[in-house]
Each structure stands twice: as structure tokens, then as C-alpha cells.
Amino acid sequence: MADKVSVVLPDGSKKEYSAGMAISQILRDFNQALAKGALATFLNGRMVDLSEKVQEDSEIKIINFDSEEGKEIFWHSTSHVMAQAVQDLFPGVKLAIGPPIKGGFYYDFDTQKSFEPEDLARIELRMKEIVKQNHPFKRRELAKSEAEEIFRQKGENYKLEILSELEEDRVVLYQHDDFVDLCRGPHVPATGVIKNFKLLSIAGAYWKGSEKNPMLQRIYGISFATKDELDQYLKRMEEMKRRDHRVVGKELELFSISDEVGPGLVLWHPKGAMIRRIIEDFWVEEHQKHGYQLIYTPHVARLHLWERSGHTGFYQEYMYSPMQVEDEHYQLKPMNCPFHILIYKSKLRSYRDLPLKLAELGACYRYERSGVLQGLFRVRGFTMDDAHIFCKREQLEEEVIKLLDFSLSMLKTLSFEKYQIFLSTRPDKSIGEEKNWEKAQDALRLALEKQELEFEVDEGGGAFYGPKIDLKIEDVMGRPHQCTTIQFDFNIPERFDLSFVDSDGNFHRPIMIHRALLGSLERFFGVLIEHYGGAFPLWLSPVQVRVMPITDEQNSYSAEIESRLKEEGFRVERDDRNEKINYKIRKAEKEKIPYMFIVGKKEVQDKNVSVRRHKKGDLGRFDLDEIIQKLKEEVKNKTVQPVAI
RNA sequence: GCCGAUGUAGCUCAACGGUAGAGCAACUGAUUUGUAAUCAGUAGGUUGGAGGUUCGAUUCCUCUCAUCGGCUCCA
């Protein structure tokens, strides 16, 4: 072995060190300040601990908290510290797994005791001690049999199960203080690094995610490199709570879900219904522009229809039980497609009719297990902004491009410009000819590429009846929400024996695309509420202007303004209660009404209004015609105020 | 569905074995007010529902319903 090794340092420079020197030492020599923030390193592209020794000519790159890898390492190490704290405080608790996740980490434990919120504080205290003691994380590679012996002695049967599934002969353990865990690593150098953490919640989780396995107790947590980041995170959590559509929906009287009606069934209150109506009008207008024909279909149909469509087979678990009417069974619809198909089938179709686009805001009912319901995000009765496109195979790609454009422009208007796109391909269990699948998948892929849209491929993630594109929008808080879906269906056209006469005079089977752009109006509304934090842009606001006289001397003038605004097509309210103007302003601000028109003596005299904008404050005095013009522009342009978080 | 937590006035929360209390909202009155809460008064609850323990239950127990956080799944 050479005495000296040549090391390429993070800045690209080269330097010689004696072989066997630890990376941490080399980094300290390289740059004290940078070394301090290092959690681990890439050694020749391989993620390793800082304690790893350099034995050959190498390249070193620092991993710090700012990178994905850094966060994962940091969170993973925090989960080890938490697990130790839990075992210290509650002897006998068994360890399952404790990985880092998107936003933090968790650890699953098996114990008779059920953790309570107060326990989190105790665990945090113990964690603080462990952090203070600054135990180094020690890596140890050993034979699998040795590791098995260690965990057998500790009675860690979940670890033994994991070990038994590993193919390698040698495995890695990490130890800090007296806590040992099976772990590939790397880890932060010592527990002292993890100063800023917070345990967030306790939840049940099945071992390996399967309902057949025992239920474990999971503790979620988060940690950061600096206190600032942790504070910011906690602030963001607060903000998310404040924006929760269930909270805002109640405060602003947008919707409710009543016990007496049933879980997952939404009552749209006047203000929420107003917003929905505006979105629907917009939707209808856009669909007509894009060559769709609007239809209406019933909420129930003979069970037979659902048998023919195949839903009673593959979709039964999500369907409400059928109801009996005059010895016939009827089924509440979980989807709209069979109806649309029957409209397609109502007459002989020619290639000249294609692509035929039938659209409907169709109310569907699906049985969702009680535990999964969540505000407007997950309900049992919802309205799909559904459409079905019947076309020839050659039209596929063009139709998908049109769909993507349509969806993205609509979402842009509703102020969603960030999204993730997924292309899901053929699953193992599926129907249809291979060549159809390939053509359809190619069409989807080509369309995405032509539009220069980035996407991820979810291999085998398609429905059994066809491949699909899913689009998730990202809200201001950076959370993704399932939105647009574009799905091919090779199943239903077969089952209903769909056909059209092509230019060659022969019958052919059309391709069918199911698509929803907003997904469901309920969920989309929930997303919108949180995205805007309840402060809807002017064009969507259920109340756009509130006129507020300062004293009752201005009541008649304010009534004049109110009726003028109404004539101009605005949604107006007047607050002529016997209250101080500050009180009225406070009310209007809390209700997030975009514009407040304040009229006092001066305004009556000069025949104008004082205008106050929600969140911005006083804009000064305006001539009524002038401000009406301004607001009309704002509505017409569907202007969105910056949606700050 | 499963695990855990929660459920008190329209809303936010308090009380805790001795038949519930505040703030806001509502209503009434006074006040006539200039850019985020004027004052006073009135009314409002079989403490989610059912059963049990007890002289007595909002409080303890059982069941049930719903909500919340997850597991899983999806529009």
C-alpha cells in the first residue's frame, strides 16, 4: 500500500495525504468552515461516513444538509437517536424500521404501550440528552450470522426478519452509545450534530404496510441543521393549519359535511356554491371552445349496465350496494363512462364524427373506507369534470397533445403553474393486445415529449384497461395534489362493441380516452381554498365588494353605490350596521372580501368612494366609474393577487 | 377497515363524581363613529348517541357514531 494517496478535494484541487487518514481529518485540513457542515461524503461517488479512511487515490465531495442525500442522512440519524430515546424510556419496545422520508423521518415500534402526545415531550427530552452527550456513530461491518446473534439476544425479531431477507453475507450495523441498529448508513459523525429536531405525531402503521401484519406504532419527526430552519418549518406547519380547507371552509361558510347527511358527502353553502358555479361556467365555456359537446346523464342505472361495463367485477369494492326498484336492481354510479358510451352508441358513427368529445360534470358516488375520508380531498360523493374522447388510432397523439394543452392552460388560469407528470404503463395483470398498449403508450410519450413536458414513467402503474398520464399540481405550500388524468381504455369499447364506419366503408373499433382535468370539483375546490388561503381572486370571490357607510347619514348613498355595482354585474354586499368603520373593516378583512368601498361625508360630497383592498389597505379615493372599470378588468383578466404563504 | 387521539353553546375553549362557564358570534338598547374589535344588557347547552356503575355522571366503564393523525387506496 502506498504511504501517500492523492486526494481530489471538493473544490477540485489535489493534495497528498498519508494513506489511512480519515476523511474528516482531510476535510479539516482542506477547509475548517466547510468541514464543519459536512455530514458525510461521496468518496469516489460512494456515500460514506466522515470517519471512513482514505486508502487509495480518491475524490472527495462533501454532503451537507442542503442536499437531498444530506437531509436523508441527517433524518436517518435522528431516527436512530429517537429510537434509542424510546428504548431507554420504555424498555421492551421492539424496533421495526426507521427510515427518512420526504419531509423528515419516522420509526416504527412494536409495544403493548400506546404512545401518547405527552410521551413525545419526554422522548424529546431524552433525545436532547443523547445529543448533548455527543456519541459518535460507529459503523461496523460483520457477518450476517453475527448480526443475527446480536439481535436475537436483544429479542429484536423484526430486525431478524429483515436480516433473513437480505441476500448479502456481510451486513452493517451502526452504534451510538449503547444503541445498535441494522443500517446501511452513512450517518452523521455524532449525535451532537442533531440539535434541532421535533417529534410531530404518533400513528398506527402496519408492519411492511400490509393489513395482514401486526399494527405498529409510528412516531414521525423532523430535524434540521439549524434552529432557524426548524423554526421556519414549524411556522410553515402553523400556516398550513391556518389554511386547512376544513377550517377555512367553515370560517368563510363555503361548505360543510354533516353527520346527519353522512361522511364524505358535501353540502355546498351559498358562498362555496357561488365559487363552484363560476368555475363550472368557466369550465363549460372552455369545453365548448375546445370542441366538446356537453351532456347530462342519470345518477343511477340498471345494475345490468354495470355488469356489461365490467364495473361490478373490477370496481365492486368502491360501489355502493345496489338498490331494488320494482324487482330490478339499480346502481348508484361510480363513474360516468357507460352513459357516455351509450350516447356514442345511440347512432351509427362515421369517421367524420371523430374525434367525438362528450363532456359532463357528473356526480359520482364511491364507497371509500371510513378511515380514508378527508375533508373535500377524499369524499364519497363527488363531481367529476369528466369527458370521453372517441377517436381513431391515428388521432391519438394529437388528441393527447390537445388535452395536455387544455389542462395546463385551464390550470394556469386557476393559478397552478407547477406540476409533476407521470406516465403509467402496462401492469402485469391487464387486458388488450400488446400492440395497442404500445401504440397508446407511444402516443402518450410522444405527446409529452413534443410539448417538452418533463415526466416520470411509472412502469406497470397503468390501469388494467389502459395506460395513462396523471398530473399532480403543486400548491403554494409545495404539496402535490392529484388533478388531471388522461386514461386510455381498451376494455370498455370491446365490452360495448363500439364501432365507426371508416372512409374505407368498413367498421372499426374507436379508441376511447377517459379524462378529467380538475379531477373532482370537490377536491379541486379544497385545493383552491388552501392555495389561496381563502382569499380568492376577484373573479372567483363570492362577495367581491362590500360597501360600508361610516355613519347612517351615508346609508342612502351607499345603497346607490350598491345597486350601481349590482347593475354592473358585481357581487356586492352592504354593511350599514350601526358600528364603527374599524369594526366593519375588520369584519370584511376577516371574510377576505377583495374590495371594501368606504363612504363617509367626503365621498358623498365629492360623489366618489374610498377603496380598500383586502390585505393591502387603503388605495385612496376613486371615481365610481373609474374603479368599476378597474374591477371589470380584474375580473375579465382573472387576475390573481400574489398568493403568499 | 385497522391503530391512536378527540367530541362541552353557532365558533374557540374552560370546569371534572355534587345536574356546566368565558370570549367571539346572535339578539335588544345606547352611541353616529374615517381604514383591523364602542359600551351595556338578553338569550343560548338532556356536555356526539345508547347502555352501565353510583344516592348522584359532562367527569368512571362498555358499546356506537363522527372527526383528526396515520397505514392502504384513489377523482
Report residue A18 as a C-alpha cell.
Answer: 498519508
- Predicted pLDDT of residue A551: 94
Distance (Å, whole) CA A347 – CA A358: 14
From residue A570, alpha-carbon distances to A286, A370, A564 in Å are: 22, 41, 9
Say whether pLDDT at A384 is over 80.
yes
- Predicted pLDDT of residue A165: 87
- Predicted pLDDT of residue A567: 97
Q: Which nucleotide is nearest to A317 (CA to C1')?
A: B73
Residue A627, CB, less than 7 Å from strand B?
no
Q: At what angle do helices A434-450 and A396-413 cross, to 10 degrees?
A: 40
Distance A198 CA to B3 C1' (A): 22
The DSSP 8-state label assigned to residue A490 in this structure reads S
Asked if this assembly's ipTM is beyond 0.90, the reply is yes
Distance (Å, whole) CA A144 – CA A126: 31
- Predicted pLDDT of residue A124: 92
DSSP strands (E only) in A186-259: 196-206, 215-224, 255-256
Distance A216 CA to B2 C1' (A): 11
What average pLDDT does range A177-196 have in this prediction? 91
Report residue A396 as a C-alpha cell.
Answer: 391519438
Mean of all residue pLDDT scores within chain A: 92
What average pLDDT does range A15-38 have in this prediction? 85
Residue A153, CB, less than 7 Å from strand B?
no
pLDDT tens for A109-121 read 998 888 887 888 8
**In this complex, which residue's CA is closest to the C1' atom of nucleotide B11?**
A251
Residue type, A102: K
Are the beta carbons of A584 and A575 closer than 8 angstroms? Answer: yes
pLDDT tens for A522-552 read 999 999 999 999 999 999 999 999 999 999 9
**In this complex, which residue's CA is closest to the C1' atom of nucleotide B33?**
A580
Residue A112, CB, less than 7 Å from strand B?
no
| Contacting residues for A379 by C-beta, under 8 A, at least 6 apart | A257, A264, A265, A266, A368, A373, A520, A522, A523
**In this complex, which residue's CA is closest to the C1' atom of nucleotide B66?**
A259
- Predicted pLDDT of residue A554: 95
- Predicted pLDDT of residue A574: 95
Question: Cell 367581491 belongs to which residue?
Answer: A544
Residue A641 CB coordination number (10 Å): 17
What average pLDDT does range A14-28 have in this prediction? 87
Say whether pLDDT at A359 is over 70.
yes
Residue A576, CB, less than 7 Å from strand B?
no
Are the beta carbons of A133 and A177 closer than 8 angstroms? Answer: yes
The A 9-68 residues near strand B by Cβ under 7 Å are none
What average pLDDT does range A332-353 have in this prediction? 96
Distance (Å, whole) CA A289 – CA A267: 31
Residue A419, CB, less than 7 Å from strand B?
no
| Contacting residues for A628 by C-beta, under 8 A, at least 6 apart | A564, A565, A568, A570
Residue A76, CB, less than 7 Å from strand B?
no
What average pLDDT does range A344-361 have in this prediction? 96
- Predicted pLDDT of residue A428: 82
- Pairing relationship of beta strands A595-599 and A545-549 according to DSSP bridges: parallel
Side-chain half-sphere exposure of A433, counting CA atoms within 13 A = 5
Residue A432, CB, less than 7 Å from strand B?
no
What average pLDDT does range A412-440 have in this prediction? 89
Strand-pairing partners, residue A176, are A179
Distance (Å, whole) CA A556 – CA A576: 10
- Pairing relationship of beta strands A196-206 and A215-224 according to DSSP bridges: antiparallel
Could you tell me the domains of chain A?
Answer: 4-63 (3.10.20.30), 69-242 (3.30.980.10), 255-532 (3.30.930.10), 545-636 (3.40.50.800)
Opening angle at CA A252, ends A248 and A255, nearest 5: 80
Distance (Å, whole) CA A483 – CA A420: 10
Positive or negative: CA dihedral A555, A559, A565, A569:
positive
From residue A626, alpha-carbon distances to A594, A601, A611, A620, A629 in Å are: 17, 20, 11, 12, 5
By percentage, how much of chain A surpasses pLDDT 90? 72
Distance (Å, whole) CA A554 – CA A610: 13
| Strand B bases within 7 angstroms of protein beta carbons | 1-5, 11-12, 30-38, 65-75
pLDDT tens for A202-240 read 888 999 888 888 889 999 999 999 999 999 898 888 888
The A 397-416 residues near strand B by Cβ under 7 Å are none
Residue type, A119: D
From residue A437, alpha-carbon distances to A150, A426, A427, A448 in Å are: 51, 7, 10, 17
pTM: 0.92
Strand-pairing partners, residue A143, are A170
**In this complex, which residue's CA is closest to the C1' atom of nucleotide B3?**
A204
pLDDT tens for A66-97 read 988 999 999 999 999 999 999 999 988 999 99
Distance A527 CA to B3 C1' (A): 28
| Contacting residues for A258 by C-beta, under 8 A, at least 6 apart | A265, A267
Say whether pLDDT at A314 is over 70.
yes
- Pairing relationship of beta strands A293-294 and A323-325 according to DSSP bridges: unpaired
Strand-pairing partners, residue A174, are A139, A181
In terms of phi and psi (left: phi > 0; alpha: psi -120 to 50; beta: otherwise), the region of A322 is beta
What average pLDDT does range A286-310 have in this prediction? 95
Residue A525, CB, less than 7 Å from strand B?
no
Residue A590, CB, less than 7 Å from strand B?
yes
| Contacting residues for A491 by C-beta, under 8 A, at least 6 apart | A310, A431, A432, A464, A465, A466
Distance A375 CA to B66 C1' (A): 13
